[in-house]
Amino acid sequence: LKDIPLFSDLDNDELTELKKVTVTKTFPKNTILFSEGDPSDSFYVIRSGKVNVGINDEEGREVILSILGPGEYFGEMALMDGEPRSAFVMTKEMVRLLIISKKDFKLLLSSDNEILLKLLKGLQKRLREANKKIESLALMDVYGRVARLLTQLAGGSGEEETTIQDKLTHQEIANMVGASREMVSRVLKELTIEGYISIEKKRITIHKKLPYEW
Binding site for ligand CMP (CB under 6 A): 40, 53, 65-66, 74-78, 85-87, 89, 126, 130
Those residues whose C-beta lies under 8 Å from the C-beta of residue 123, and which sit 6 or more positions away, are none
Q: How far is the CB of 200 from ligand CMP (least distance, A)?
A: 29
Instruction: Between 83 and 194, name the residue whose CB sits nearer to ligand CMP.
Output: 83
Instruction: Between 32 and 139, name the residue whose CB sits nearer to ligand CMP.
Output: 32
Q: How far is the CB of 23 from ligand CMP (least distance, A)?
A: 18
Those residues whose C-beta lies under 8 Å from the C-beta of residue 167, and which sit 6 or more positions away, are 201, 202, 203
Instruction: Between 68 and 188, name the residue whose CB sits nearer to ligand CMP.
Output: 68
Which sign, positive or negative, has the C-alpha torsion 113, 115, 116, 120? Answer: positive
Instruction: Between 132 and 203, name the residue whose CB sits nearer to ligand CMP.
Output: 132
Instruction: Between 53 and 168, name the residue whose CB sits nearer to ligand CMP.
Output: 53
Those residues whose C-beta lies under 8 Å from the C-beta of residue 27, and which sit 6 or more positions away, are 33, 91, 94, 95, 97
Q: How many CB atoms lie within 10 A of CB 51?
A: 24
Q: How far is the CB of 155 from ligand CMP (least distance, A)?
A: 17
Q: How far is the CB of 195 from ligand CMP (least distance, A)?
A: 33
Q: How far is the CB of 40 from ligand CMP (least distance, A)?
A: 5
> What is the distance between the alpha carbons of residues 134 and 150, in angstroms, rounded to a whole number?
17
> What is the distance between the alpha carbons of residues 204 and 198, in angstroms, rounded to a whole number?
6
